[in-house]
Amino acid sequence: MPEGHTIHRLATRHRELFAGHPVAVSSPQGRFASGAALLDGRLLRDTEAYGKHLLHHYEGDRTLHVHLGLYGKFTEGEPPLPDPVGQVRMRMLGRTHWLDLRGPTACEVLEPPAVEALRGRLGADPLRDDADPARAYPRIKSSTKPLFALLLDQSIVAGCGLIYANEVLFRAGLSPLTPGTAVSRDLWTALWDDLRALMKEGVARGRIDTVHTQHTPEAMSRAPRVDRHGGEVYVYRRTAQPCLVCGTPIAIGPLAGRNLYWCPTCQC
């Protein structure tokens, strides 16, 4: 599932391509036909990302809400408009570009109260300038759940996914099983600041890189990581490979229904 940095990149890209002008909206697949009719021909005022949720704000207080889930994907191009390929849930056509959406978990038109309700059930998004990390801390401090699971809870931290959760805990030298009750306010602030910096770098680069300069392939004279997720990381999907810091084989185990990766030495 795309993590928050990807959704923020999409919001910026869609703003560049379509905001400030009327947009033609349709549903070649048909499943979003009624929603498309509500938006078709309207001016797209702005776009917004909140965690893993993408919002397109149209004139008339109508908002398109998209959650890509595991299989959702956008494709784009310049005219001429191609024939739809596959199950195109939504198609947008602006002055200079077209945009197709396939396979999302959610694709719906929301009224203002529903938009506010969506924001209300999401936690603080490290990539938003209006995010307040102090808002999340009481939830963390009062929970005995492992910190790894708390970071993945979108009602606590919006936009943090599996890769960032694994990596930020390694960088902090914390066992992923550390209960929330053991996290001090200063530690939470440090974790938040590091997570925010990593995710901002992800927005800028378009991929997730989490290793410090001294652990890059160039600095260590090692081969670059080969993985469909791209990026240089410490533990994610590096099962049994040597830790880049201490050489201990990276471990894997299930937690909160997800794969947890950690170094048994650096995160003991």
Catalytic residue numbers read 2-3, 52, 258
CA distance 177 to 70: 26
The structure tokens listed for 188 are 């939470």
Q: Which amino acid is at 79?
A: P
The structure tokens listed for 250 are 């990276």
User: Taking Cα atoms as reference points, which of 206, 123, 202, 106 lies closest to residue 158?
Assistant: 123
Strand segments (E) across the chain = 24-26, 44-50, 53-58, 62-67, 73-77, 88-93, 98-102, 106-110, 251-255, 258-262
**Which residues are CB-contacts of 237 (< 8 A; sequence separation ≥ 6)?**
227, 229, 261
Q: How far is CA 125 from the centre of its chain?
A: 10
CA distance 162 to 165: 5
Please name every residue paired with 55 in a beta bridge, in sequence order, or none if there are none. Answer: 48, 65
